[in-house]
Structures are given as structure tokens and as C-alpha cells.
Chain A
Amino acid sequence: MKPVFMTYTKKDLINLAVCMVLSVLIIPTFISTEYWYTSILIPWLCLALATIGQQIVMGYTGQLALGAAGFMAAGAFAMFNLILRVPDLGFVGSLIVSGLIAAAFGILFGLPSLKVRGIYLMVATLASQFFIIWMIDKFGWFKNYDSSGIITAQDIVILGKPFTTPLAMYFVCLAVTTVLTLLAMNMARGSTGRNWMAVRDMDIAAESMGVSLLRTKVQAFAISAFYCGVAGALFAFCYLKSLEPVAFDIKLSFKILFMCILGGLGTINGAFIGAAFILLFPVLLNAVGNNVFHGAIDATIISSIEQVIFGGLMIIFMIYEPLGMAKLWETLKHNIKSKLTSLDITSLKSSKLKKPRK
């Protein structure tokens, strides 16, 4: 399909418009329960953003990295300290700078990717997870010497206006996520993304074409960490409303990894689908437990069942659909479309022909 605007095809623009209308107009008018914003939509946007970061390094560049939550912690605590110590930066400025700080960590912990690959790289990148959390715990300065362990996040103020209601915070997350998603799509579809994928698919050939492995891999790690850092800052300030290193433990890293794989490696929309699935699935399971079985099943058992199903799904997806739910969605759409066209095309055309013209 020919792009009509920048690198976007007509279909992309329609999809984008639908998403924007849905998220800006329809959701705020029809959903008024705070629960939906504070517990589902806001974390969904934040985690989808972090998953895009994971996608860039893992789905596009093919570097098995596991430490997204570490970069999120870096971003979150950078944000806290920037607002505290450099108030002149403002919210948006602090958000960008905390992303850049996370990116610096990304460069540092991405360097092993030049020497090791695969599962060994995964172990090497775990260092980021543990080092960043340890650093924040060890040096009181990062927490502003708060002894309670949990620090309340500052209120979000943009251009002098406070954004404290769930709806306002939702819009903050939505705006940041939309902008960063578009930038990620531009990169993924442009020459930058081609370099990433070339390194992923065949690094020797990529190098023979003049793609520098060092620059490409480090760049992917930096951009990935930037996305995770910004996502972490939003996660702490809009969702948790507090800062504690424990919130960014290895479990969160795994969660983001699952979102990435289930959503579909090497897709941007997969990040949103995967994040939605992993967030909503426990909610759904709880609802089933409460409404169908009327609480006969213990909550702990439900959470165990959740783990079992996630594990099973991961294996099934890895074997049967490595490209994840994004690919399933595409296939579904394609099948429906071909069904519809094969059914209707003759009847539609003939009915049009029969229409009398005045």
C-alpha cells in the first residue's frame, strides 16, 4: 500500500483516528467510574509504553533483555528527584530528562550485548534490574532520606495547572503514550527500524551492508530504556502515586516480557494488546470467580490459576504463533474480510447495478 501521509497508509490513519476518538471522546464520556481509570486504563497505558520499550530491544533488535522494570525504577526516581531538586524543569521537562537518565543506564547495561547473545545476554541484562534497585535502596539521597520506605509522589502540575483527578491523569498518560507511540512507529518503519531488524535477522549480513552492530544495539538499548524510564515515571506518578523500589521488582520485568511476547514480538500494536491482556485477564478471572462460583474458589487459588494459564499460554504462543496476539488479530481481520468479500461482492455489485438511475 502506498503511504499517503509520511510513512502512514490510509488504513493506518483511519486506525489512528478511531483510536483517538475512542480514547479522547468515547471513553471519558461513557466511563465515569474512577476504578476504570485508576486501576485499568492508566496502568495499561504506562505498561504498554514500557512494553514498546521492550519491543524495541527484543522484538525489533532481537536482543533478549530482561530488566525493563529496572529502567522504569530509574525513570521514576529520576522524576521524583528532578521535581524535588530542579523544580524549574516542569513536569514535561522532568519526564524527558528522567527518560534520558534511564537511557544512560540503558547504554551502560546494553554494552554486554556486543559480546554475548541469547539467554546469556538475558542474564547479563538482569544486572540492570538488580543494580538499579540496589542503588536506590542503598543511597538515601535518591529517596531524599525518607525513612518510611514509601515516598508519596508529588502532584502533577503542568503549566501551573494541577492534574490530580483520575481523568486528568489518564489524559496525561494518554498524551505521552500517543506521542511516544507515534515516534516509535516512525522509527520502526523507517531506516532506524530496518537497521534494528537487520541486526535481529542476520547480524553478519547487516554488518556487511554497513550497519554498525555497536551503534545499532546500543541505540536500541538506549531508546528502549528511554521508553521504560518515561513509562516508569508515569507508572509511579499516575498509577502508584508513590515511589518504592519494591514496586519495580523482577516480577514487573517478567510481566513486561510476557506482554511483549503474548502481544507479538516486533509489533507496536502488540504492546497494547499484550498489556491489555495481562492486565485484564486477572480482573476477568476474579470476576468469574466471584460471579460464577460466588466466591467458592479461594482468591489465592485464583491467582495461582492465573499463573498456570499465563505459563500455558506462553508455551502455546511460542510454539504455534510466535508473532503473538497482534498476528492473531491480523489473521482474524483478514479472514473476516475475505469471508465478507466472497459472500457479498457479487450480491453487492449486482444490487448496485440494478439500482435505477434517475
Chain B
Amino acid sequence: MAYERKFKIGKPILEVNNISLSFGGVKAITDTSFNVLEHEVRAIIGPNGAGKSSMLNCINGIYKPQQGTVSFRGQQIPNITPNIMAQMGLSRTFQNLALFKRMSVLDNILVGRKLHTKTNFLEVALQLPKVKKEEKLNRDRSEEIISFLEIEDIKDTPVGKLPYGLQKKVELGRALATDSTIILLDEPMAGMNVEEKRDMCRFILKVNDELGTTMVLIEHDMGVVMDISDRVVVLDYGKVIGDGTPDEVRSNQKVIDAYLGVEH
């Protein structure tokens, strides 16, 4: 790329080592390893059922892989839970929208500020000055994110009433509100039209560019993936069949076979 990046791609921040996951007799992921470098946009692609979402769920601690380890900043994490990963600075969005449906957009994003909220329930009940200070800081940050994502006009709408594309945006906003160093996006552009996709790409690149947030995304739209990601890992039947820059992956015969089908 021609332009100078503010945050240079650095050392591996997240390493997935030999992960195997099966549900009963079904093997979702087999002995998969790859890494994510600091400040890069990393895509995970692959046909349906390739184990992409399962991979994210393993990294995030929702699934417990039978084998393999996940290392964050060179440190192996023994008992991964979503909560521990969130505290270490890893946030995510979900494939099938996991928003808090009855809460407003602002409240959803404010939940993302949870780890920056240190006051306990008694202090909140009594509305001590430090609670008000903290709440103000969190609200300001949330408002910033809302205006960044250009969703000011729906700030107070309950999320359940919003159309799909906007809900996806809110989910990205909630992940951003955590100020995480790495964000996992599970199909952030699924079901969007071209314009919405372009918007989403812009936001992802802007976040990566301005905040240096490492982005790991799963995406089906090959065009989008090739355009925005620095490196791509291709999964098929739970195995890595390609890993490298978009150009390398594009010319990889195995990847072409997996996507276009091959005569046996």
C-alpha cells in the first residue's frame, strides 16, 4: 500500500496454536494454527461450514477446544472465558447479532464501557460524585463512537426496532466502546447492500488506521476481503489451506479449488 500507516504492523499479538475442536463426532476444526500481527487487518475466509465462526468462538472462549492453545501477546492463556479475554483487551461482534434488544443504542454502547466502569452498585445507588464523573466520561466516549459511526439520530431507539444493517453498526460500536486492542468481527457485512458494505469497510479501516486496533474479520464477500485486509487465512473443512497476503491467497491453487469446486 502506498500510504504511510500511523500504526506499523508489528509483532504477533494473537497466536492460535494447533487448535482442534469437535462436537461429538463432528470435527469442526482440525489442528489449525495461524497468527495475527499487531495493528493489521486479518481476514478469515472459507466456504460455509469451514469452521470460521467456531474459530472465533475458540479464541473468545465461548467454545473450549479439545486441543491447542491461544496465546495473547506471547502469553498462553490457560482457561479462556469471554470475560477473561475481554479483560485482556479482546472484544468481538457476533454473526447473528447479539445485541441487547430492549436497550437503546446508547445503552448498548455504554455496556461496552463496562470494563472502564469501576464503581460498584452501592456507589451507583447513592450516586456518589465519582459515579457521576465516571458516567460522564463513559457517556462522552459512547457519544464519540456514535457520531463516528454516524448513528446519532437513532441513539435513543431500542436496538430491537432497528433494521439489520444498523444493528450491525451498533454491534461494531459496542465492540469499539471497549477500547480493545483487538476486535473480532464475525461477518460484519453479512446481509448488507453494497452501500452499507462500503460504509462498514470505511469504518473498519478508519478504526484500524486511527486507533491502531487490530481487526480480525470473517467475511464472505471476496472482493471486500481482498480490498481491506492485510493478510488472509483460508479455512476449509476446519483446516488451514492458505495463509498470506490477498495476492498470495488469490493465486493459491488449493483455495481456488475450495471455492470453485474441483473434479475428483
Contacts and interface: CB of A to CB of B under 8 A. Distances in A.
Q: How large is the interface on A (under 10, 10 to 19, 20 to 34, 35 or more residues)?
A: 20 to 34
B124 A205 contact: no
Given A194-B110, A211-B111, A205 B100 contact: yes
Contacts of B60: 208
B169 to A, nearest CB: 15
B98 interface: yes
B86 A201 contact: no
Residue among B82, B117, B134 with most chain A CB within 10 A: B82
A261 to B, nearest CB: 15
B107 A194 contact: yes
Interface in A190-215: 190-192, 194-195, 197-198, 200-202, 204-213
A183 B117 CA distance: 19
Contact of A204 (B62, B111, B115): B62
A202 B100 contact: yes
A205 B138 CA distance: 19
A219 B94 CA distance: 27
A197 B53 CA distance: 26
A183 B125 contact: yes
Contacts of A207: 81-83, 86
B183 to A, nearest CB: 11
Interface in B101-155: 101-103, 107, 110-115, 117, 119, 121, 124-127, 131-132, 134-135, 138
B99 A190 contact: no
B174 A209 contact: yes
Contact of B178 (A187, A191, A197, A209): A209
B111 A194 contact: yes
B86 A209 contact: yes
A211 B114 contact: yes
A187 B120 CA distance: 10
Interface in A255-311: 266
A190 B62 contact: no
Interface in B23-81: 60, 62, 81
Contacts of B101: 201-202
A194 B142 CA distance: 14
B110 A183 contact: no
B83 A195 contact: no
Contacts of A212: 83
Contacts of A6: 127, 132
B119 A191 contact: yes
B125 A187 contact: yes
B125 A186 contact: yes
Contacts of A192: 121, 124-125
A266 B100 CA distance: 14
* Interface SS of A by simple majority: helix
Contacts of A208: 60, 62, 82-83, 85-86, 91-92, 98
A144 interface: no
Given A208-B60, A209-B91, A202 B98 contact: yes
A191 B102 contact: no
Contacts, number: 104
Q: How large is the interface on B (under 10, 10 to 19, 20 to 34, 35 or more residues)?
A: 35 or more
Contacts of B253: none
B44 to A, nearest CB: 18
Interface string A172-186: 000000000001101
A267 B85 CA distance: 33
Contacts of B252: none
B87 interface: yes
A143 B104 CA distance: 49
Contacts of B138: 191
Nearest to B81: A207
Contacts of B99: 201-202, 205
A211 B134 CA distance: 17
Contact of B87 (A7, A197, A204, A210): A210
Nearest to A202: B98
Contacts of B121: 187, 192, 219, 223
Nearest to A199: B100
Given A198-B100, A210-B178, A191 B110 contact: yes
A197 B103 contact: yes
Contacts of B87: 210
Contacts of B178: 209-210
A197 B101 CA distance: 10
Contact of A197 (B81, B100, B126): B100
Contact of B94 (A183, A201, A205): A205
A179 to B, nearest CB: 10
Contacts of A186: 124-127
Contacts of A201: 99-103
Residue among A194, A197, A219, A266 with most chain B CB within 10 A: A194
Contacts of A210: 83, 86-87, 114-115, 178
26 contacts: A183-B125, A186-B124, A186-B126, A187-B125, A190-B124, A190-B135, A191-B113, A191-B131, A192-B124, A194-B103, A194-B111, A198-B103, A200-B102, A201-B99, A201-B102, A202-B98, A202-B99, A202-B100, A205-B98, A207-B82, A208-B98, A209-B86, A210-B86, A210-B115, A211-B114, A266-B102
Interface of B: 60, 62, 81-83, 85-87, 91-92, 94, 98-103, 107, 110-115, 117, 119, 121, 124-127, 131-132, 134-135, 138, 174, 178
Given A198-B100, A208-B83, A219-B121, 17 more contacts: A7-B135, A183-B125, A183-B126, A186-B126, A190-B125, A191-B119, A191-B131, A191-B135, A192-B124, A197-B102, A197-B103, A197-B107, A201-B102, A207-B86, A209-B86, A209-B112, A211-B83
